[in-house]
Amino acid sequence: MIISTSIWGDIEVNEKEVYRFEKGIPGFEETTEFVLLDQDEAPFYYLQSLQQKELSFVLVDPFIFYPEYEFELPDSETEELEIESNLVVRSILTLHEQVESSTINLLAPLVFNPDNRKAKQVVLHQSPYSTKHSLQPTKEDETIRSKEGE
Amino acid sequence: MLVLSRKKGESIIIQDHIEVTVLGVEGDTVRIGISAPKQMDIFRKEIYLSIQESNRESAAHTQSNLDALRKMINKNNEK
């Protein structure tokens, strides 16, 4: 199928890459259909809205930047997304003019179920993470890690 | 906004399925227990607002930001 985007113009996407965010994404609750694009720029990915061509997010594989990143996906979320074994975790990047000062949202990862193409931004409760972690881990993050390891 | 008072241990029922109980009060802090269906998301408001704000900020990336990101990726790939 062909979709319109502000960034790439009209592009052809595979329907297998289309995900449904049943509850939208906080701040954009009305938008439920997104396509997860992999433009050969791993670990960076793009999430493009099907309904609003100007709405897109830059995503990263958080484990590449924070190998010790971990969270417990609550049973309620696993059930809601009907996750059996397959899942993909991506984090939203906030880009800055100085690309090095861009930040990763580790507090609210996006969880995708490739089997049924349901997805959700999961807000982690009782988590040491925040919405703004540096692309380059800082000393502060090291502290979180060592605390986590205790 | 509905305004009502409850004592410790008393509850409020919302739409048959949501029960909010006052577990305890200490100074100006109230501990609240919430029983709700699993698919219902419950957040501390300030956390939810911070995630909304962060998402709005992330969605506002520009072409020049993306170009800068691409340059960085290319540089890393060359290494």
pLDDT tens, chain B, 79 aa long: 999 999 999 999 999 999 999 999 999 999 999 999 988 999 999 999 999 999 999 998 887 888 888 888 777 777 6
Distance separating alpha carbons of residues A53 and A2, to the nearest angstrom: 12
- How near does any CA of chain B get to the CA of A121, in Å? 10
Question: Predicted confidence band at A137 (pLDDT cuts at 50, 70, 90)?
Answer: low
For chain B, the structural domain boundaries read 1-40, 43-79
Mean pLDDT, all residues of chain A: 88
Q: What's residue A142's pLDDT?
A: 55
Average pLDDT over residues A71-98: 93
Specify whether the CB–CB gap between A22 and A120 falls below 8 A: yes
What percent of chain A is predicted at pLDDT more than 90?
Answer: 66
Q: Where are the beta strands (DSSP E) in chain A?
A: 2-5, 9-12, 18-21, 33-37, 44-49, 56-60, 88-94, 103-104, 110-113, 118-121, 133-134
Over 50: is that where the pLDDT of A136 sits? yes
DSSP A1-38: -EEEETTTEEEE--GGGEEEETT-BTTBTT--EEEEE-
Q: What's residue A43's pLDDT?
A: 86
Rg (CA), chain A: 16
Contacts of residue A94 in chain B, CB cutoff 8 Å?
54, 57-58, 61
The pair of structure tokens assigned to A20 is: 């449904």
Question: Predicted confidence band at A39 (pLDDT cuts at 50, 70, 90)?
Answer: confident
B70 membership: H or E segment, kind and range: helix B63-78
Q: Which tens digits make up the pLDDT trace of A104-126?
A: 999 999 999 999 999 999 999 88
The pair of structure tokens assigned to A93 is: 């990047």
Contacts of residue B17 in chain A, CB cutoff 8 Å?
none
Nearest partner of A92 among B42, B53, B77, judged by Cα:
B53
Backbone angle region of B53, left / alpha / beta, with phi > 0 → left and psi within -120 to 50 → alpha: alpha
- How near does any CA of chain B get to the CA of A104, in Å? 9
Q: Do A57 and B59 touch (CB under 8 A)?
A: yes
Q: Do B55 and A25 touch (CB under 8 A)?
A: yes
Average pLDDT over residues A87-92: 97
Contacts of residue B43 in chain A, CB cutoff 8 Å?
123
Question: Predicted confidence band at A150 (pLDDT cuts at 50, 70, 90)?
Answer: very low
Q: Do B58 and A57 touch (CB under 8 A)?
A: yes
Q: By CA distance, what is A129's nearest residue in B?
A: B47
